């Protein structure tokens, strides 16, 4: 089908690495590319390289279930995710690329009275931070989503918390849009270039060793998501992060049935419908630590059970594909955007299963930290030492919720 388009030009260059940059970003996922884009666009820095061991989009940015939302509770998180949602709302105009940003809503189902209380509190925290939140009762949901199993004996549906501005975004278009925007501002995106070590002299990071030779840098910014522990180990750092696989699934294309994103409140299952008609869904992590980008069957069964519990009609849909990606699970479910104890070395990670929605704000805030050496006002608590100081951002229930 593309034979008529032989004249198409690649939208970013394939440069060879230069011997030295002002900033070297390790990892060409969504966060690395967004960081490069905002460094160039908002902070006027151009002498930047993004080093990616595979091809851009080969990691989680191209594997996630595309959900965006800002329905967090805690002050350390909610303003940041709302900042991100606002950046999503203007993103396509900003980088002039169709990323199919679709604010089709997200609904968290409520199954108990205690859960309703918790969700009311969360909704109020969201509204206080400038986000939108709306409580729905069971009657409203029965009218809107008649295919849900309201009278399930174990998990009756008693209502839900809507965020109407939540939704989905075409994930790999996000990588391509940021890549093109960064490249056109002079950033070198260097694929097939694995960082194999850090040059650290007298407590200062002066560059990286790579599969394509040594590269010097004034600042080195790591954002390698599921590979965080393995990469930072090369700088002698041990992180409060474990890596696990998260799987996702898509069915054959169906007629439109699900208007937005729906999450199960009594187990791990969430679902939306893609523009091609496939039901896109996921659930819990594979429980063991792993760096393999594939999961195993017990979780497939567990996710399918979650789906059957809230929408039994999903049992009639045939599964087309499933895949896995590696999650950098932090111990309190919240991320890090911080300097390290080594001068010139910065770290961004711990996104757990929720870093796609964070992509714009993560890039913006990391760029802010790199350019000004100060955290962005919405990311002041995402510190690496919070497990020493005890200032956790313990967002169990949202940071720890897949999607
Ligand atoms: P990645 O795209 O993984 O980027 C990291 C890059 O670093 C990779 O390309 C990797 O190759 C590169 N790298 C690693 N080591 C090196 C090295 N030594 N040298 C050079 N490069 C290196 N989040 C949501 O908000 N909503 C969702 O619905 C959602 N669903 C998900 C579903 C699944 C199945 C998965 C797997 C994840 C999901 N997530 C979701 C989480 C989200 O995708 C991630 O948190 C986020 O994409 C991580 O940031 P990233 O895009 O920069 O990561």
Mean pLDDT, 10 residues at a time, the chain of 403 residues: 76 96 98 98 97 96 97 95 98 97 98 96 96 98 97 95 98 97 98 98 97 98 97 97 97 96 96 96 94 93 96 96 96 96 98 96 98 98 95 76 70
Phi-psi region of 372 (alpha: psi -120 to 50; beta: other; left: phi over 0): alpha
DSSP 8-state assignment for residue 13? -
Q: What is the pLDDT of residue 9?
A: 85
Contacts 24+ apart (CB under 8 A), 61-64: 61/29, 61/30, 61/31, 61/33, 61/171, 61/172, 61/174, 61/175, 61/356, 61/359, 62/171, 62/172, 62/175, 63/171, 63/248, 63/293, 63/323, 63/324, 63/325, 64/171, 64/248, 64/325, 64/355, 64/356
**316 alpha carbon to ligand 1 midpoint, in Å?**
31
* Residues flanking ligand 1, CB < 6 Å: 26-32, 51-54, 58-61, 63-67, 194-195, 223-227, 231, 246-248, 282, 325, 351, 353-357, 403
Per-residue pLDDT, 7:
80
Q: Is 70 helix (H, G, I), strand (E, B) or coil?
A: coil
Q: What is the reported pLDDT for 195?
A: 98
Burial class (CB in 10 A: 0-12, 13-18, 19+), 98: exposed
Q: What share of the chain is helix, strand, coil (3-state, %, to 5)?
A: 30, 30, 40
Name the closest-CA residue to atom 36, ligand 1: 325
Residue 403: predicted pLDDT? 73
Span from the CA of 172 to the centroid of ligand 1 (angstroms): 11
């Amino acid at each position: 089908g593309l034979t008529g388009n032989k004249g198409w030009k690649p939208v970013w260059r394939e440069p060879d690495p230069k011997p030295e940059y002002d900033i070297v970003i390790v990892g060409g996922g969504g966060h690395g590319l967004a960081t490069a884009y905002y460094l160039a666009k908002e902070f006027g820095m151009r002498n930047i390289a993004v080093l990616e061991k595979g091809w851009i989009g080969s990691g989680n940015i191209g594997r996630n279930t595309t959900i965006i939302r800002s329905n967090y509770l805690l002050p350390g998180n909610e303003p940041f995710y709302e900042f991100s949602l606002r950046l999503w709302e203007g993103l396509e105009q900003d980088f002039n690329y169709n990323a199919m940003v679709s604010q089709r809503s997200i609904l968290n189902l409520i199954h108990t009275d205690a859960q309703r209380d918790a969700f009311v509190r969360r909704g109020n925290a969201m509204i206080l931070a400038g986000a939108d939140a709306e409580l729905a009762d069971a009657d409203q949901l029965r009218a809107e989503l008649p295919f849900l199993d309201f009278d399930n004996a174990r998990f009756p549906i008693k209502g839900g918390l809507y965020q109407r501005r939540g939704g989905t975004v075409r994930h790999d278009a996000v990588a391509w849009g940021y890549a093109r925007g960064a490249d056109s501002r002079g950033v070198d995106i260097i694929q097939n270039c694995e960082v194999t070590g850090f040059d650290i002299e007298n407590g200062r990071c002066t560059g990286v060793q790579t599969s394509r030779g040594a590269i010097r840098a004034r600042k080195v910014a790591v954002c390698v998501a599921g590979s965080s522990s393995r990469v930072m180990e090369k700088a002698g750092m041990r992180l409060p992060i474990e890596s696990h696989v998260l799987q996702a699934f898509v069915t054959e294309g169906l007629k439109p049935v699900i208007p937005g994103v729906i999450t199960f409140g009594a187990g791990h299952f969430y679902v939306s419908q893609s523009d091609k008609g496939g039901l896109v869904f996921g659930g819990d992590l594979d429980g063991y630590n792993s760096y393999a980008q594939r999961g195993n069957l017990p979780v497939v069964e567990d996710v399918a059970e979650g789906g059957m519990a809230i929408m039994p009609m999903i049992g009639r849909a045939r599964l087309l594909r499933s895949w896995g990606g590696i999650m950098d699970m932090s111990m309190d479910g919240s991320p890090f955007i911080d300097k390290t104890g080594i001068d010139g070395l910065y770290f961004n990670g711990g996104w757990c299963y929720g870093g796609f929605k964070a992509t714009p704000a993560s890039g913006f805030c990391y760029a802010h930290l790199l350019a000004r050496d100060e955290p962005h006002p919405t990311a002041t608590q995402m510190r690496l030492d919070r497990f020493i100081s005890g200032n956790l951002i313990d967002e169990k229930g949202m940071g720890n919720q897949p999607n």
